[in-house]
């Protein structure tokens, strides 16, 4: 900080010098007021290069900054007697503040642990989560309104904010399916599978694409996997029944019956009931 001086009467300058001398302490006494310690992570491993900040209280007092060495150690000498708040931070992580009382000829040891997001980092995360939530909600609203292109754009926006958004990929695949863009729908479901290998939604969704594109043989193992992962999922029972109609009418009938049990009020329930009746006739012949 730049100090500005203006001309003053000589007697005031002389008094100021005497006043300053009256409060000068021996250098040895000043240097013995020390705060030292170590900064560690949540596993108690030392943190190299963490910034340690010491602020004299109340707020607005003197402030010192130093950094830790490879052992996580730090040291600050030449402190005034009084109360000091000590904190550490690195890579958007910070420690809880600790307050110590420093007196002459004392060395205060303060161990600090990183693991709390700093206020700036926490605010950034909150803003990002808010943007992600808004983009996802808008995407779902567009999808429900029969606007797949707008929905896809919003799902992509959400994925940019969170590349591991499983629900984004699954729902985006549904939007591509609305457009009958099977290739992109398949790619989205497969990305969901990469993110979560045991996600039944991706398996049943991909099975539906395979069945709708004339690849019933490829749909069958996918839908079987979906049933294994979620036995009470209605959609997988319906698709599985469809893959079995020609191959095993009795087994297909059982799947449709299970579908009606699980989802009796859906549009496909009426289709499933009519198929059950037809399959029953075939079985009795």
Mean pLDDT of 226-236: 94
Which of 7-16, 44-53, 67-76, 264-273 is predicted with the least confidence, judged by mean pLDDT?
7-16
Residues 6 or more apart from 62 whose CB is under 8 A from it? 55, 56, 80
Query: Among residues 197, 215, 243, which one ends one of the domains?
Result: 197
Does residue 4 lie in a domain region?
no
- Here the CATH number for the domain that contains residue 273 is 1.25.40.10
> What secondary structure letter does DSSP report for 220?
H
* pLDDT at residue 121, rounded to an integer: 66
Regarding whether 113 and 135 lie in a shared domain, the answer is no
Instruction: Check whether 2 has a pLDDT greater than 50.
Output: no
If one counts the domains in the chain, the total is 3
Of 146, 181, 197, the one marking the end of a domain is 197
How many percent of the chain have pLDDT more than 90?
A: 65
Q: Are strands 98-102 and 34-40 parallel, antiparallel or unpaired?
A: unpaired
Range of lowest pLDDT (17-31, 53-67, 178-192, 238-252):
17-31
Q: Which residues pair with 40 in a beta bridge?
A: 46, 113
- pLDDT of residue 25 exceeding 60, the answer is no
Q: Which residue has the tokens 């900080």?
A: 1
Q: Do 169 and 137 have their domain in common?
A: yes
pLDDT at 44 over 60: yes
Q: Is residue 173 part of a domain?
A: yes
Q: Where are the alpha helices (DSSP H) in 76-215?
A: 119-144, 148-161, 166-178, 182-195, 200-212
Identify whether 48 is part of a domain: yes
pLDDT reading at 172 higher than 80 = yes
Q: Report the SS3 class of residue 192.
A: helix
Evaluate whether residue 3 is within a structural domain: no
Residues 135 and 73 in one domain: no
**According to the model, what pLDDT value does residue 265 have?**
93
Mean pLDDT, residues 87-109 taken together = 85
Q: Are residues 34 and 111 in the same domain?
A: yes
Q: Which domain holds residue 70?
A: 21-118
Final residue in a domain of this structure, among 62, 85, 118 = 118
Environment class of 224 (CB within 10 Å of its CB; exposed 0-12, middle 13-18, buried 19+): middle
For residue 64, is it within any domain?
yes
Average pLDDT, the chain: 85
List the CATH number of the domain containing 63.
2.60.40.10
| Section 115-140 average pLDDT | 81
Quick one: 189 and 207 in the same domain?
no
Supply 176's token pair: 């591509």
* Prediction pTM value: 0.60
Q: What is the pLDDT of residue 4?
A: 47
Q: What is the pLDDT of residue 32?
A: 64
Bridge partners (DSSP) of residue 98 are 86
Q: For residue 117, what pLDDT is reported? A: 62
Q: In this structure, is residue 2 part of a structural domain?
A: no
Give the per-residue pLDDT at 115: 80
Mean pLDDT for 179-189 is 96
Q: Which two tokens stand for residue 93?
A: 């992580």
Q: Above 60 in pLDDT, residue 12? A: no
Report yes or no on 10 lying in a domain: no
14 pLDDT band (50/70/90 cuts)? very low
């Amino acid at each position: 900080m730049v100090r500005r001086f203006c001309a003053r009467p000589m007697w005031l300058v002389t008094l100021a010098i005497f006043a300053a001398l009256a409060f000068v302490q021996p250098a040895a006494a000043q240097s013995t007021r020390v705060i030292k310690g170590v900064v560690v992570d949540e596993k108690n491993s030392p943190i190299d290069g963490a910034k340690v900040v010491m602020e004299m209280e109340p707020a607005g007092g003197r402030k010192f900054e130093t950094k830790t060495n490879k052992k996580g150690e730090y040291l600050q000498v030449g402190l005034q007697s009084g109360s000091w708040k000590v904190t550490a931070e690195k890579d958007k992580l910070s420690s809880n503040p600790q307050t110590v009382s420093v007196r002459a000829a004392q060395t205060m040891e303060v161990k600090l642990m990183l693991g709390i997001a700093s206020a700036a980092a926490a605010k950034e995360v909150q803003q990002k989560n808010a943007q992600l939530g808004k983009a996802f909600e808008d995407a779902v609203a567009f999808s429900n309104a029969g606007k797949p292109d707008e929905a896809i754009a919003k799902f992509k926006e959400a994925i940019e904010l969170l590349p591991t958004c499983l629900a984004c990929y699954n729902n985006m695949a549904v939007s591509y399916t609305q457009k009958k863009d099977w290739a992109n729908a398949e790619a989205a479901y497969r990305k969901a599978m990469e993110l979560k290998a045991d996600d039944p939604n991706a398996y049943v969704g991909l099975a539906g694409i395979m069945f709708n594109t004339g690849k019933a043989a490829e749909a069958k193992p996918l839908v079987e996997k979906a049933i294994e992962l979620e036995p009470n999922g209605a959609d997988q029972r319906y698709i599985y029944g469809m893959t079995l109609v020609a191959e095993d009418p009795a087994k297909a009938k059982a799947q449709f019956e299970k579908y009606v049990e699980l989802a009796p009020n859906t549009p496909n329930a009426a289709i499933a009931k009519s198929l059950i009746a037809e399959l029953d006739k075939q079985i009795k012949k």
